[in-house]
Amino acid sequence: MNILICGDIVGRSGRESVERFLPQIVKQDKIDFVIINGENSASGFGITSKICKKLYDLGVDVITSGNHIWDQKEILPYIDSDTRLLRPCNFPDNTPGRGYGVYKSKGGEIVAVINVMCRLFMDNLEDPFKSVESIIDSLKVKYGLTSIIIDIHGESTSEKMSLGHYFDGKVCAIVGTHTHVPTADLQILEKGTFYQTDLGMCGDYNSVIGMNKDACIQRFTKKFLKTKLEPAGGEGTLCGTVLEINDKSKVIKFKQIIKGGRLER
């Protein structure tokens, strides 16, 4: 089974990069399952039901998110009805939506996806270690050997890495999102789990993490100005990773995908 996981979509440039490159990646790499983080896809802040439908039409199977999931108010009444749109699992129990889901790939393999958010430099949510561990335990009981993928949405590389090593050997793959910068530390950890600190973003890299660079610079150099941040509008780059998973739910091959825009290889 081949799984494609893409980083945060940022604004129109990010959406256009996904529209342009996703179908050809799915075809060329014989992708069976697609996961993408969509929490910045609506003008850089949040996601809408319309964008969700467009992504599903393009072949996306699951949309993960993070701290911007509630930025578009229309998502509150919508998220409970969409089993493929995830929010971090360590929000309080009465939060709308779901933090994980179990799905089937094109070939019929079971794929579980868990979305969790870090706490360092982020919102003060429930313990991500305990939250994910309880989900894994329930998945193991119900489904046995399952390809479990975790999207860790977090600012701190150390917290992401700690979560990675903590769950090494317990899940198939752990990938990070949120910083919008693709890391080069793709690896199989000691106990067999694939790990990457951050997938990067799908967006315009002639920017400051996807946002208009002039407005961002003003925020840092002129603290008295309250400039509105908007996504950069140039050509976007799609960033992600392709995983080849065997029948024992182990990643046996992986490669980084960087297509289009300023970062294309």
Active site residues: 68
Helix, strand, or coil (residue 112): strand
The token pair at 109 is 């393999």
DSSP code at position 262: G
* Residue indicated by tokens 């993928």: 149
CB 260 within 8 A of CB 17: yes
How far apart, in Å, are the Cα atoms of 90 and each of 99, 112, 115, 136? 7, 16, 9, 13
CA atoms of 54 and 63, how far apart (whole Å):
11
CB 233 within 8 A of CB 248: no
